[in-house]
Chains A and B, each alone.
Chain A
Amino acid sequence: MEHRIARIVVVVILVAIAIVFLVPVYALALSAFRPGQQLLRYGITPESLLPTGFTMSSLHTLFTARDGIFLQWFKNSVVLLVLRTSISIMLSAFVGYGLATYQFAGRKILLSAVVFLMVVPIQILILPLFNLMIHFRLMNTVWGVILPFLVLPFAVFFFRQYAGSLPSELIDSGRVDGVSEFGIYFRIMMPLMVPAFGAMIILISLMSWNDFVWPLVVLRSNDMFTIPLGLNSLLTPYQDNYDMLLSGAFMATLPVFILFFLFQRFFVSGLGEGAVKG
């Protein structure tokens, strides 16, 4: 009996905290259906959290203003996400498998480098990376955004852990059958790494979708912007900016929330793994 009461208390505490955490999310969802001018003047007030007085005008503005620039930003974000996720997942898995499978001179140093690069803040290097992009003439291009971060240390580490947990007999029997080392990877081992791919696709896509500082440095023209950069450009209170900002912020978040509710398991497994084995 005492045990049950304790349990109920715990759940009540957790629910209370979760509700507080949800206030900004709820406020965002409602603000998408309110006039931007009002929000700009008074901020988000307790009254504006009441579910009344909605208008669709902000959403309408979002999709029609400036020749539908928001849809262009949306498209740019999707293109970047697909390119970035697909390429970096293939490269990171390839490297991770190599590090897990082979003994070779320099392996330890490379492993330490992977772990070090996982944590070192890459933001420190924006100035030289910026110069590098100018030098390669990659400013204001999609490749300029994705090239420096194609091989992701945390993904390499994750795949290395995962590949290391697969049965090595499969590799040996592949060799006996005369399959080449690359054949063993692509035809035998990679298909076994599908769950790891699932977790990493989710995490890298999320990173790409929300990425801000580096695209801000590289992308210079409005029609190349991703959604976060586009929203950032609306932060000045000018014309109908705030209508677009709030409804755009909502529309940028909605697809991610939907995917999260469908695939919560993958989001969680990709993160937890690194912490336990790290």
Chain B
Amino acid sequence: MPALSRPFKNQRYVPYVFVLPFVLSAGLFFVYPVIQTIIMSFQEIAPGLREFVGLDNYRRLANPRFYTALRNSFVYTFLTIAVLIPVPMVLAVLLNSARSGAGRSAFTVLRGMLFLPALMSVVVVGTVFRLMFASSESAIANTVAQLLGFPPTEWLLAGPTTAMVLLVLVATWRWTGINIIYFLAGLQQIPNELYESAELDGANAFQKFRRITVPLLRPVTVFVLTISVFGGFAMFEESFVLWGPTSPGNVGLTMVKYIYQQGFQSAQMGLGSAVGITLLAIVFLVSLALLKLTGFFRQGDE
């Protein structure tokens, strides 16, 4: 960042005017709600009643339903990362190789096709996937399953495994195109000479990928990893549109959905807040770990 000359003396207030909207917005709609959540997590809240109950809400988290939500959020986050980093990275490299010369328009069209899912509302996505993965034997997912030698299943209702598979498939479909764009932007930063000199040394395509592309894409990989971690723990909408606010056997239940259920369906604001604080703590710890491993947040101070 260029260190510019300071504003004139009598205008020292100017920078603060510029950042004021952010300070107000973050204070009112982030800091204050966080404080409120902490307070509410120690209270029992009902119409006309608000009393301090100590750690009661946190003790009540020791229930199978919360454990299901916790496990689902972790498994979902892990699986989406396992798919949504390597697959888009390889696809971006393949796309990039078609980028030059005559491949130019093919590149644009293919990139656009893979990006289309990211443009669609989650409600629309949920509707289409519910119908493609419908329980009828002739539905498209079951047709494919039978072609591969599996029996048809009730994807949405059969149990936690098919539910998780479905959620990961939806995530893969929705976010591959976006992550490809991140990786493509990263590939643009890698100087071509590196590949040229590697070729002179007789490196094959795989060696170039492993020794040049992967290490030099590291900053973008860290970025994608970070947004995937937070996106994974925040997941709720996909589950909501596939199963509605509650689901049989709690399939697809996640932490944020548990907060929603407690707050808006069971009128348990206190318990919901305790879940919120727990999730915030998890996210905070994970981001500290990421910071330690990758230095992502270091960009703030230069």
Contact = CB atoms under 8 A, between A and B. Distances in A.
Interface of A: 6-7, 10-11, 13-15, 17-18, 21-25, 27-28, 31, 39, 41-47, 49, 91, 94-95, 97-104, 107-108, 110-117, 119-132, 147-151, 153, 156, 164, 168, 171-172, 175, 180-182, 185, 206, 209-210, 212-213, 217, 227-228, 231-232, 235, 245-246, 249, 252-253, 256-257, 260-261, 264, 267-268, 271-276, 278
B136 interface: yes
B30 interface: yes
Contacts, number: 322
B15 A104 contact: yes
Interface of chain A, main secondary structure: helix
B4 A271 contact: no
B6 A253 contact: no
B116 A271 contact: no
Contact of A171 (B4, B120, B178): B4
Contact of B5 (A98, A172, A264): A172
B120 A98 contact: no
Contact of B117 (A24, A43, A100, A103): A24
Given A95-B18, A275-B220, 5 more contacts: A42-B134, A103-B4, A128-B32, A156-B22, A231-B123
Most B-side CB within 10 Å, residue of A28, A127, A171: A127
24 contacts: A10-B97, A25-B120, A31-B131, A43-B139, A45-B138, A46-B138, A46-B140, A47-B138, A101-B15, A103-B15, A117-B26, A117-B30, A122-B234, A123-B256, A148-B29, A153-B22, A164-B2, A249-B124, A253-B119, A253-B124, A260-B119, A271-B182, A273-B185, A275-B223
Contacts of A267: 115
Contacts of B279: 121, 124
Contacts of A126: 256, 259-260, 263
A168 B127 CA distance: 50
Interface of chain B, main secondary structure: helix
A209 B88 CA distance: 26
B124 A95 contact: no
Given A212-B123, A212-B237, A271 B181 contact: yes
